[in-house]
Amino acid sequence: MNQRWRLIALWLLPIGMVLLLTWQILGNSQVNSIKANNDSIAPRNTAIARMSYGRFLDYVDAGRVTAVDIYNGGTNAVVEAVDPELDNRVQRIRVDLPGLAPELITRLKDEGISFDIHPERKTPPALGIAGNLLFPIFLIGGLILLARRSNSMPGGPGQAMQFGKTKARFAMEAETGVKFDDVAGVSEAKQDLQEVVTFLKQPERFTSIGAQIPKGVLLIGPPGTGKTLLAKAIAGEAGVPFFSLSGSEFVEMFVGVGASRVRDLFKRAKENSPCLIFIDEIDAVGRQRGAGIGGGNDEREQTLNQLLTEMDGFEGNSGIIIIAATNRPDVLDSALMRPGRFDRQVSVDAPDIKGRLSILKVHSRNKKLSENLSLENIARRTPGFTGADLANLLNEAAILTARRRKDSISLSEIDDAVDRIIAGMEGQPLTDGKSKRLIAYHEVGHALIGTLVKDHDPVQKVTLIPRGQAKGLTWFSPDDDQMLVTRAQLEARIMGALGGRAAEDVIFGRQEVTTGAGGDIQQVASMARQMVTRFGMSKLGPVSLEGDSQEVFLGRDLMTRNDISDSIARQIDEQVRQMVMNSYEKTLNIVKENREAMDKLVEVLIDKETMDGEEFKNILAKFTDVPEKERTVASLS
C-alpha cells in the first residue's frame, strides 16, 4: 500500500510543479496585460505619441497641457496637450515619469491642470505565496521521495548491501500443481527421483542402514523432455521448502556478485533445512573453467568455485539437495560432475512408444477427441517426439479443429498438425505446369526408391502441397525407437534421398536437373561420411577417424590436434564419393526400370496432390513386385 502511494506521489509531483509554474506565468501575464490595458485607454481614433519627461515639463510651463492620467504608481502617464504644429489640436501623448513625486502634483495643481491617479492592480497575495513557498516545498518533497525509492531498488544507495543477495524464488511448501502422476513417459527418471522425495520425507529408512542422501541430482536430456517438469513434481511431492532459480541469475557484470549470491542462497537453505534447490540451465554458470583463448570469465568462474565449495567443501550441507537441469552436459566442469557434488545423474531422453502413449493420455485430458481417433496410432506415428512436442501436437490439432468449426479432434487434424510441426506452415497449392510436374516426378522418385528398396523405411505419404521452404514432401515412417541402424538401412536411406535427383535425371535429362535436391545431397554426404569415419563401414576398415559431432567449445576443441594425415583425409573423401556414386547408379537403374509406373503415379499425384503410402504401394504393385518390409512393432501392453 505504501508503495502505491509513493508511485502516486511521484506522478503528482511533476504535475504540481508544472501547475505552479503555469500559475506564476499566468499571474505575470495578467499584470502585464493590466499594464497594457492601462497604457492604451486612449480612444481608438487617437494616436498616442511619446514625449520625454523634460519636454513634458516645458509643455506644462507653456500651458499646453490640459489633462494628465497617471498609471502604475507614477511611472507612466497619458497627457492631453495642445500641439501648435498641428493647428492647436489636442493630442494624447505618453510620458515615462520618474515616479509619483509631490512636486509634480503641486506643479499640476498650480497650473490648474486636471489630473487623475489610477491605482495599480497587484497580483493576488495567495498567488504570490503559492509561487514563493509551495514550489520549493514540492521540489524538496519530490527529491525526498526519489531518494527513498532509489533506496528500495536493487543497487540503490540504501540497498547496496542487497546487491549480492540471492534472487531465488522461495516457497515453504511449493504449490506447483504438478505431481509425479502428472509426469509421464520418463518412468526410469521418476523412480530415481522418487527416492529423493522419500529421503526427504522419511530419512530414517535410509540412515538406519548407513545410506546418505545424495547432495545433487543432475537432469540431463534434450530440450522438451520434461526436466523442469520433473523438478516441479519433486517440489510438489516433497512438501519441503523449495528454492528455484536459473543459472543465469547468478552471473552479473560485477566480479564477486555471483559468489555472494551463492553464499546467500546456501545460507537461507541451511536456515530452512531440509530443503530443495532447483537450478535450471546450470550450464550458464557451470561451464568448464580456464577456456584458454581470449581469457576467462572471472565472475562466472568465481561463482562456480563458490558453488563447488558450498556443495562439497570444508563445511557440510546436510539436508540440502540440489537439483539441476541442462541439455549441454558436455560443457560442464568436471569438478561439478564428480561424486560428492552431483552424485546422481539422471538421463531424461525422448520417450519410447509406451512413454508417448502415456504422455498423450495426460495432455488429452482436456481435449475433445473423436471416437475413432486412437492415441496408440498417434504414438506410433510420432517417433522421436518429446513430451513438449506431443503437447504442442495436440494443441495445434485443437486449434485446427476450432478453425474448421468441428466439435472434436479427428485424424485429419492430427495429420495436419504433425506436418506443420515437422515441415512448417502449409502454403498455396501449386498451379498446373512444368514446375508442378517436375516436383511430382521428384517426390515420386523418393517414394519409389523407398518402396522398392527392402531395407528402406516404408512410405507414409507423398504430397505436392508446399510446406515451409519445401515445394513437395515425401514422408517415411521409420521403425519405432531404432536404437541400432544397419549398414543396409543406411545405404537404403542414401538411395532414397537420391531418388528425387535420379528421377529428374532420367525423365528430363542431365541438363534439366534442378536445385531441388540440394538438401537431399547434403543429407547424403553427411550419412556417407559418418559411415566412413565413425561407423567403420568402408574399405578403410573399422577405424574411427573423427570424434563425436558435438558443438565446438572454445579453448577445448579449437586447439585439439588433428590426428588424421593428409593421405587418410584424401582416402576418406574418395570413399565417400565412391559410396555415393555407387548408390546413385543403383538408384538410376531402379528409376529407369520403373519408368511406366512412375508416369502413372505422377498422373495420380498431380490429380490428387496427396497420396498415402498404402495407395502408392497398391498402384506400384500393378507394374512390379513390391517387397514386403519387415518391421518390429513395439508392444503397448
What residues are annotated to the active site? 443
Residue 417, classified by CB atoms within 10 Å of its CB into exposed (0-12), middle (13-18) or buried (19+), is buried
Contact (CB, 8 A) for 174 and 242: yes
Contact (CB, 8 A) for 494 and 527: yes
Element (H, E) at 388: helix 387-403
Contact (CB, 8 A) for 130 and 17: no
Three cell numbers at 494? 542414401
Helix (H, G, I), strand (E, B) or coil at 76: strand
Element (H, E) at 21: helix 2-39
Q: How far apart are CA 323 and CA 344, in angstroms?
A: 10
Three cell numbers at 354? 509406451
Q: Are strands 610-612 and 459-463 parallel, antiparallel or unpaired?
A: antiparallel
Q: How far apart are CA 238 and CA 59, in angstroms?
A: 107
CB atoms closer than 10 angstroms to residue 424: 14
Instruction: Using alpha carbons, select from 583, 369, 627 the residue that is nearest to residue 494.
Output: 583
Contacts of 482 (CB under 8 A, 6+ apart): 383
Question: Which residue is listed with cell 569438478?
Answer: 335
Exposure b/e, 24-56, CB count within 10 A at least 16 = b: beebeeeeeebbeebeeebeeeeeeeebeeeeb
Q: Are strands 48-51 and 89-96 parallel, antiparallel or unpaired?
A: parallel
Contact (CB, 8 A) for 39 and 79: no
DSSP H helical ranges for 477-565: 487-508, 518-533
